[in-house]
Protein backbone atom coordinates (compact mmCIF):
# COMPACT_ATOMS: atom_id res chain seq x y z
CA UNK A 1 0.00 0.00 0.00
CA UNK A 2 1.44 3.38 -1.09
CA UNK A 3 2.23 5.64 1.85
CA UNK A 4 0.77 9.09 1.84
CA UNK A 5 3.18 12.04 1.59
CA UNK A 6 3.02 14.00 4.77
CA UNK A 7 1.77 17.55 4.33
CA UNK A 8 3.78 20.00 6.33
CA UNK A 9 1.86 22.91 7.90
CA UNK A 10 4.00 25.71 6.43
CA UNK A 11 1.40 28.32 7.23
CA UNK A 12 1.70 27.55 10.95
CA UNK A 13 5.48 27.94 11.22
CA UNK A 14 6.51 31.13 12.99
CA UNK A 15 9.99 32.68 13.19
CA UNK A 16 10.64 35.54 15.60
CA UNK A 17 6.90 36.03 15.86
CA UNK A 18 6.43 36.35 12.07
CA UNK A 19 4.74 33.66 9.91
CA UNK A 20 7.28 31.95 7.63
CA UNK A 21 4.98 32.43 4.61
CA UNK A 22 5.09 36.22 5.10
CA UNK A 23 8.90 36.17 5.30
CA UNK A 24 9.16 34.18 2.05
CA UNK A 25 6.76 36.54 0.24
CA UNK A 26 8.69 39.62 1.32
CA UNK A 27 11.98 38.04 0.24
CA UNK A 28 10.62 37.14 -3.21
CA UNK A 29 9.22 40.64 -3.70
CA UNK A 30 12.56 42.17 -2.72
CA UNK A 31 14.44 40.00 -5.21
CA UNK A 32 11.95 40.86 -7.95
CA UNK A 33 12.30 44.60 -7.31
CA UNK A 34 16.09 44.28 -7.22
CA UNK A 35 16.01 42.57 -10.61
CA UNK A 36 13.93 45.41 -12.08
CA UNK A 37 16.22 48.07 -10.59
CA UNK A 38 19.32 46.29 -11.87
CA UNK A 39 17.82 46.05 -15.35
CA UNK A 40 16.95 49.76 -15.40
CA UNK A 41 20.40 50.77 -14.18
CA UNK A 42 22.01 49.20 -17.23
CA UNK A 43 19.93 51.19 -19.70
CA UNK A 44 21.43 54.05 -21.65
CA UNK A 45 21.30 57.39 -19.87
CA UNK A 46 19.65 58.91 -22.91
CA UNK A 47 16.61 56.72 -22.21
CA UNK A 48 15.93 58.31 -18.84
CA UNK A 49 12.43 59.47 -19.84
CA UNK A 50 11.47 55.87 -20.57
CA UNK A 51 13.02 54.71 -17.29
CA UNK A 52 10.82 57.10 -15.36
CA UNK A 53 7.85 56.06 -17.47
CA UNK A 54 8.45 52.38 -16.75
CA UNK A 55 8.52 53.04 -13.02
CA UNK A 56 5.50 55.32 -13.03
CA UNK A 57 3.66 53.87 -16.05
CA UNK A 58 1.67 57.09 -16.36
CA UNK A 59 0.93 59.67 -19.03
CA UNK A 60 1.03 62.15 -16.15
CA UNK A 61 4.76 61.48 -15.73
CA UNK A 62 5.44 61.40 -19.48
CA UNK A 63 3.89 64.85 -19.84
CA UNK A 64 6.45 66.49 -17.55
CA UNK A 65 9.26 65.96 -20.08
CA UNK A 66 7.40 67.44 -23.02
CA UNK A 67 6.66 71.12 -23.68
CA UNK A 68 3.00 71.79 -24.38
CA UNK A 69 2.25 73.98 -27.39
CA UNK A 70 -1.37 74.83 -26.60
CA UNK A 71 -0.99 76.81 -23.37
CA UNK A 72 -1.45 80.24 -25.01
CA UNK A 73 -4.60 80.87 -27.08
CA UNK A 74 -4.01 82.57 -30.43
CA UNK A 75 -6.20 85.45 -29.33
CA UNK A 76 -3.39 86.44 -26.92
CA UNK A 77 -0.56 86.29 -29.46
CA UNK A 78 1.34 89.57 -29.38
CA UNK A 79 -0.64 90.70 -26.31
CA UNK A 80 1.02 88.91 -23.38
CA UNK A 81 1.68 91.05 -20.31
CA UNK A 82 4.98 91.88 -18.64
CA UNK A 83 6.97 90.87 -16.79
CA UNK A 84 8.12 87.74 -18.60
CA UNK A 85 9.68 85.51 -15.92
CA UNK A 86 11.67 82.36 -16.67
CA UNK A 87 10.85 79.61 -14.16
CA UNK A 88 13.17 77.07 -15.78
CA UNK A 89 16.41 75.60 -14.48
CA UNK A 90 20.00 76.65 -15.29
CA UNK A 91 21.48 75.26 -18.51
CA UNK A 92 17.98 74.97 -19.99
CA UNK A 93 17.77 77.93 -22.32
CA UNK A 94 18.06 80.96 -20.04
CA UNK A 95 20.83 82.49 -22.17
CA UNK A 96 18.87 81.77 -25.34
CA UNK A 97 15.81 83.53 -23.91
CA UNK A 98 17.94 86.48 -22.77
CA UNK A 99 19.46 86.78 -26.24
CA UNK A 100 16.07 86.42 -27.95
CA UNK A 101 14.33 89.16 -25.99
CA UNK A 102 17.42 91.38 -25.99
CA UNK A 103 17.71 91.10 -29.77
CA UNK A 104 14.07 92.09 -30.07
CA UNK A 105 14.71 95.15 -27.91
CA UNK A 106 13.08 94.06 -24.67
CA UNK A 107 14.76 95.03 -21.42
CA UNK A 108 16.02 91.68 -20.15
CA UNK A 109 17.95 90.86 -16.97
CA UNK A 110 19.92 87.63 -16.71
CA UNK A 111 21.48 86.30 -13.49
CA UNK A 112 22.21 89.81 -12.13
CA UNK A 113 19.41 92.27 -11.40
CA UNK A 114 21.66 95.17 -10.35
CA UNK A 115 25.38 95.95 -10.53
CA UNK A 116 25.85 94.45 -7.06
CA UNK A 117 23.05 91.91 -6.62
CA UNK A 118 22.15 88.67 -8.32
CA UNK A 119 18.46 88.28 -9.13
CA UNK A 120 18.13 85.54 -6.52
CA UNK A 121 19.48 87.93 -3.88
CA UNK A 122 17.23 90.90 -4.64
CA UNK A 123 14.19 88.61 -4.74
CA UNK A 124 15.08 87.18 -1.33
CA UNK A 125 15.56 90.69 0.08
CA UNK A 126 12.17 91.74 -1.27
CA UNK A 127 10.46 88.71 0.26
CA UNK A 128 12.14 89.32 3.63
CA UNK A 129 10.84 92.90 3.57
CA UNK A 130 7.35 91.60 2.72
CA UNK A 131 7.42 93.37 -0.62
CA UNK A 132 6.62 92.05 -4.12
CA UNK A 133 9.40 89.62 -5.13
CA UNK A 134 10.98 91.86 -7.79
CA UNK A 135 10.66 95.12 -5.82
CA UNK A 136 14.39 95.37 -5.01
CA UNK A 137 15.47 94.21 -8.48
CA UNK A 138 16.11 96.24 -11.61
CA UNK A 139 12.93 97.19 -13.45
CA UNK A 140 12.85 94.99 -16.55
CA UNK A 141 10.36 93.46 -18.95
CA UNK A 142 12.09 90.07 -18.95
CA UNK A 143 13.82 88.15 -16.17
CA UNK A 144 15.51 85.40 -18.14
CA UNK A 145 17.38 83.83 -15.20
CA UNK A 146 16.38 84.44 -11.59
CA UNK A 147 18.32 81.64 -9.87
CA UNK A 148 22.03 81.84 -9.16
CA UNK A 149 22.87 78.47 -10.67
CA UNK A 150 25.48 76.44 -8.84
CA UNK A 151 25.12 78.55 -5.68
CA UNK A 152 21.84 76.76 -5.09
CA UNK A 153 19.37 79.64 -4.63
CA UNK A 154 16.23 79.02 -6.70
CA UNK A 155 13.48 81.64 -6.28
CA UNK A 156 11.43 79.80 -8.92
CA UNK A 157 11.16 76.97 -6.38
CA UNK A 158 11.34 78.62 -2.98
CA UNK A 159 9.24 81.67 -3.88
CA UNK A 160 7.09 80.31 -6.70
CA UNK A 161 3.84 81.08 -4.87
CA UNK A 162 4.99 84.64 -4.13
CA UNK A 163 5.98 85.26 -7.76
CA UNK A 164 2.65 84.02 -9.05
CA UNK A 165 0.56 85.92 -6.51
CA UNK A 166 2.71 89.05 -6.65
CA UNK A 167 2.36 89.53 -10.42
CA UNK A 168 -1.17 88.40 -11.36
CA UNK A 169 -0.76 89.38 -15.03
CA UNK A 170 2.77 88.06 -15.54
CA UNK A 171 3.81 85.72 -18.33
CA UNK A 172 5.86 82.76 -17.14
CA UNK A 173 8.36 80.89 -19.31
CA UNK A 174 9.24 77.21 -18.92
CA UNK A 175 11.94 75.81 -21.26
CA UNK A 176 12.41 72.07 -21.90
CA UNK A 177 15.28 70.03 -23.27
CA UNK A 178 16.22 66.35 -23.34
CA UNK A 179 17.33 65.19 -19.91
CA UNK A 180 20.52 63.53 -21.09
CA UNK A 181 21.50 66.76 -22.90
CA UNK A 182 20.80 68.80 -19.77
CA UNK A 183 22.74 66.45 -17.53
CA UNK A 184 25.75 66.49 -19.85
CA UNK A 185 25.63 70.29 -19.95
CA UNK A 186 25.64 70.46 -16.15
CA UNK A 187 28.66 68.17 -16.07
CA UNK A 188 30.56 70.33 -18.57
CA UNK A 189 29.91 73.59 -16.74
CA UNK A 190 32.88 74.08 -14.44
CA UNK A 191 33.32 76.58 -11.64
CA UNK A 192 36.76 76.43 -10.08
CA UNK A 193 37.39 72.70 -9.57
CA UNK A 194 33.78 71.51 -9.41
CA UNK A 195 31.08 70.86 -11.99
CA UNK A 196 27.63 72.39 -11.76
CA UNK A 197 25.98 69.01 -11.14
CA UNK A 198 28.34 68.51 -8.19
CA UNK A 199 27.60 71.98 -6.82
CA UNK A 200 23.86 71.36 -7.04
CA UNK A 201 24.28 68.01 -5.32
CA UNK A 202 26.01 69.75 -2.39
CA UNK A 203 23.43 72.55 -2.19
CA UNK A 204 20.30 72.24 -0.08
CA UNK A 205 17.50 73.20 -2.48
CA UNK A 206 13.80 72.80 -1.59
CA UNK A 207 12.67 69.56 -3.20
CA UNK A 208 16.28 68.64 -3.97
CA UNK A 209 18.05 68.24 -0.60
CA UNK A 210 21.79 67.93 -0.18
CA UNK A 211 23.00 64.57 -1.49
CA UNK A 212 20.50 64.38 -4.34
CA UNK A 213 21.79 64.60 -7.91
CA UNK A 214 24.03 61.54 -7.93
CA UNK A 215 22.90 60.55 -11.40
CA UNK A 216 20.78 61.48 -14.39
CA UNK A 217 17.66 59.86 -12.99
CA UNK A 218 17.65 62.00 -9.83
CA UNK A 219 18.07 65.21 -11.83
CA UNK A 220 15.25 64.10 -14.13
CA UNK A 221 12.92 63.45 -11.20
CA UNK A 222 13.73 66.90 -9.83
CA UNK A 223 12.92 68.50 -13.18
CA UNK A 224 9.69 66.52 -13.53
CA UNK A 225 8.50 67.50 -10.05
CA UNK A 226 9.26 71.16 -10.75
CA UNK A 227 7.38 71.17 -14.06
CA UNK A 228 4.37 69.53 -12.43
CA UNK A 229 4.34 72.06 -9.60
CA UNK A 230 4.77 75.08 -11.89
CA UNK A 231 1.87 73.97 -14.08
CA UNK A 232 -0.32 73.43 -11.04
CA UNK A 233 0.46 76.74 -9.32
CA UNK A 234 0.21 78.90 -12.45
CA UNK A 235 -3.06 77.24 -13.49
CA UNK A 236 -4.75 78.53 -10.33
CA UNK A 237 -4.57 82.08 -11.70
CA UNK A 238 -6.47 82.46 -15.00
CA UNK A 239 -4.87 85.87 -15.63
CA UNK A 240 -1.44 84.26 -16.02
CA UNK A 241 0.06 82.79 -19.17
CA UNK A 242 2.57 79.93 -19.20
CA UNK A 243 4.70 79.62 -22.34
CA UNK A 244 6.42 76.23 -22.57
CA UNK A 245 9.42 76.14 -24.90
CA UNK A 246 10.97 73.12 -26.64
CA UNK A 247 14.68 73.87 -27.05
CA UNK A 248 15.25 70.72 -29.10
CA UNK A 249 13.03 71.83 -32.00
CA UNK A 250 14.70 75.04 -33.19
CA UNK A 251 12.62 75.63 -36.31
CA UNK A 252 9.19 75.20 -34.71
CA UNK A 253 10.23 77.07 -31.57
CA UNK A 254 11.60 79.99 -33.58
CA UNK A 255 8.31 80.47 -35.42
CA UNK A 256 6.17 79.85 -32.36
CA UNK A 257 8.00 82.39 -30.18
CA UNK A 258 7.93 84.88 -33.03
CA UNK A 259 4.16 84.51 -33.27
CA UNK A 260 3.46 84.54 -29.53
CA UNK A 261 5.59 87.60 -28.73
CA UNK A 262 5.35 89.36 -32.12
CA UNK A 263 9.14 89.37 -32.43
CA UNK A 264 11.37 88.93 -35.48
CA UNK A 265 12.01 85.19 -35.83
CA UNK A 266 15.69 85.78 -36.65
CA UNK A 267 16.25 86.75 -33.00
CA UNK A 268 15.86 83.16 -31.86
CA UNK A 269 18.93 80.96 -31.63
CA UNK A 270 20.33 78.59 -29.07
CA UNK A 271 22.99 80.39 -27.07
CA UNK A 272 25.37 79.20 -24.37
CA UNK A 273 26.82 81.91 -22.17
CA UNK A 274 29.83 79.80 -21.19
CA UNK A 275 32.47 81.70 -23.17
CA UNK A 276 35.20 79.31 -21.99
CA UNK A 277 33.45 76.41 -23.71
CA UNK A 278 32.28 78.48 -26.69
CA UNK A 279 34.74 81.32 -27.43
CA UNK A 280 33.09 81.86 -30.81
CA UNK A 281 30.04 83.41 -29.15
CA UNK A 282 29.64 87.17 -29.39
CA UNK A 283 29.94 89.19 -26.18
CA UNK A 284 27.92 92.06 -27.61
CA UNK A 285 25.39 93.58 -25.21
CA UNK A 286 27.16 92.28 -22.11
CA UNK A 287 28.27 94.37 -19.15
CA UNK A 288 31.49 93.96 -17.22
CA UNK A 289 30.75 93.44 -13.53
CA UNK A 290 33.58 92.87 -11.07
CA UNK A 291 35.98 92.42 -13.96
CA UNK A 292 34.01 89.53 -15.45
CA UNK A 293 31.79 89.43 -18.51
CA UNK A 294 28.21 88.90 -17.32
CA UNK A 295 24.96 88.46 -19.18
CA UNK A 296 23.37 91.30 -17.31
CA UNK A 297 20.98 93.73 -18.97
CA UNK A 298 20.12 94.15 -22.65
CA UNK A 299 17.47 95.96 -24.63
CA UNK A 300 16.77 98.82 -27.05
CA UNK A 301 14.34 101.75 -27.26
CA UNK A 302 12.51 100.06 -30.16
CA UNK A 303 11.08 96.55 -30.42
CA UNK A 304 11.97 94.52 -33.52
CA UNK A 305 8.64 92.99 -34.51
CA UNK A 306 7.78 90.30 -37.03
CA UNK A 307 8.82 90.75 -40.65
CA UNK A 308 11.11 93.67 -39.87
CA UNK A 309 8.46 95.94 -38.34
CA UNK A 310 9.39 98.29 -35.50
CA UNK A 311 7.38 99.55 -32.54
CA UNK A 312 8.15 101.72 -29.55
CA UNK A 313 8.78 100.05 -26.23
CA UNK A 314 5.80 100.71 -24.00
CA UNK A 315 6.97 100.09 -20.46
CA UNK A 316 6.46 102.65 -17.68
CA UNK A 317 9.06 103.42 -15.05
CA UNK A 318 12.78 103.99 -15.26
CA UNK A 319 14.18 105.42 -18.50
CA UNK A 320 16.20 103.19 -20.78
CA UNK A 321 18.96 102.37 -20.23
CA UNK A 322 19.30 102.38 -16.45
CA UNK A 323 22.85 101.03 -16.63
CA UNK A 324 25.45 101.24 -19.41
**pLDDT for 210-234, tens place per residue?**
888 889 999 999 999 999 999 999 9
- Poorest-pLDDT segment among 80-89, 115-124, 182-191: 182-191
Residue 293 clears pLDDT 90, i.e. is over it: no
Third-level CATH fold of 60-312:
Rossmann fold (3.40.50)
Is 70 exceeded by the pLDDT of residue 76?
Answer: yes
Q: With contact defined as beta carbons under 8 Å apart, do 87 and 173 qualify?
A: yes
- pTM value is 0.74
Q: Which residue has the higher pLDDT, 293 or 25?
A: 25
Query: What's the pLDDT at 315?
Result: 59
- List the chain domain ranges: 15-45, 60-312
Of residues 308 and 38, more confidence is placed in 308
Query: 259: burial class by Cβ within 10 Å (0-12, 13-18, 19+)?
Result: middle
d(CA 185, CA 244): 20
Task: Please give the pLDDT value at position 162.
Answer: 97
Model confidence pLDDT, tens digit, residues 2-40: 555 555 454 555 444 445 444 344 344 433 333 333 333
Amino acid sequence: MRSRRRRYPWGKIVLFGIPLVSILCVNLNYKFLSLITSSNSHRAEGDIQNNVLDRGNSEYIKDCFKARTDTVPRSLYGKLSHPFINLGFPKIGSSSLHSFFGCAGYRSAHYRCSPTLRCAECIALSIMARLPPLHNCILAEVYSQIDDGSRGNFPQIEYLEELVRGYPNATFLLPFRKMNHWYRSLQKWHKNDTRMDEDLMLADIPGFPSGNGRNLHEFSEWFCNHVTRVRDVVSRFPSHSLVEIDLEDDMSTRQRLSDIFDVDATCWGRVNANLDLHPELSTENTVNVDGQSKWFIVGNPMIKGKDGTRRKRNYPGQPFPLYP
